[in-house]
Amino acid sequence: MIITFDNWWPMLHELNVTIDNAFKKAGVAIAFPQRDVHLDATGPLEVRVVSEPSGSEAYTRSPAGSKEPGD
């Protein structure tokens, strides 16, 4: 089969489905990142959105004695 722009996506889909079916048949499970968050609160929670600094600002230290959010 010659791969062209017209048959690239159908071919790629067929390849992925074939690989997935072979993994299922062999009992291979693909892990995926998972994060569980458990909240144990007896009352309402305060929620606020705080943006993180970008680039090198994220790795700079605060001046001595300054207060960081959450301290």
What is the per-residue pLDDT across 20-36, written as a single tens digit (0 to 9) for each?
999 999 999 888 888 88
In the predicted structure, residue 9 carries a pLDDT above the cut 60: yes
Residue 20: inside a domain: yes
Q: Is residue 12 part of a domain?
A: yes
Mean pLDDT of the chain: 78
Cα–Cα distance, 24 to 29 (Å, whole number):
7
The model's pTM is: 0.41
Task: Give me the number of domains the chain comprises.
Answer: 1
Query: DSSP character for 43?
Result: S
Domain enclosing residue 17, as ranges: 1-38
Query: In this structure, is residue 11 part of a structural domain?
Result: yes
For 18-43, letters b (16+ CB in 10 Å) and e give eeeeeeeeeeeeeeeeeeeeeeeeee
